[in-house]
């Protein structure tokens, strides 16, 4: 496989991973909140736990994407890039 093709496939993989992280985090949070609202607390807390865990799931998805992007940026710097901000003071 050519180097250009490999880089293209790696880019597609990274984009797919970003989407999956956001969607998976959102749906897992939503499912946990719904389960707690409907099965554990027997709809006494509806819709508050569903909304809270949905928000937690969205935050977790974006946090995973942020960590992935930060890791990729740090990896590029280690490969002889022109340096960059590494988050340290």
Token pair for residue 1?
């496989």
CB 26 within 8 A of CB 54: yes
Contact 49, 33 (CB under 8 A): yes
Tokens representing 31? Answer: 């499912």
- 75 has a pLDDT exceeding 60: yes
Which pLDDT does position 87 carry in this prediction?
A: 57
pLDDT more than 90, % of the chain: 51
How do residues 25-65 score in pLDDT, each as one tens digit?
Answer: 999 999 999 999 999 999 899 899 999 999 999 999 999 99
**Model's pTM, two decimal places?**
0.73
Extents of the domains making up the chain: 28-77
pLDDT at 2: 87
């Amino acid at each position: 496989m050519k180097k250009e093709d490999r880089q293209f496939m790696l880019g597609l993989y990274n984009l797919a991973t970003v989407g999956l992280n956001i969607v998976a985090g959102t749906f897992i949070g939503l499912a946990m909140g719904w389960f707690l609202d409907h099965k554990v607390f027997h709809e006494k807390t509806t819709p508050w736990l569903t909304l809270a865990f949905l928000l937690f799931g969205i935050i977790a998805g974006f946090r995973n994407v942020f960590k992935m992007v930060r890791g990729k940026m740090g990896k590029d710097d280690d490969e002889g890039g022109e340096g960059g901000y590494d988050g340290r003071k």
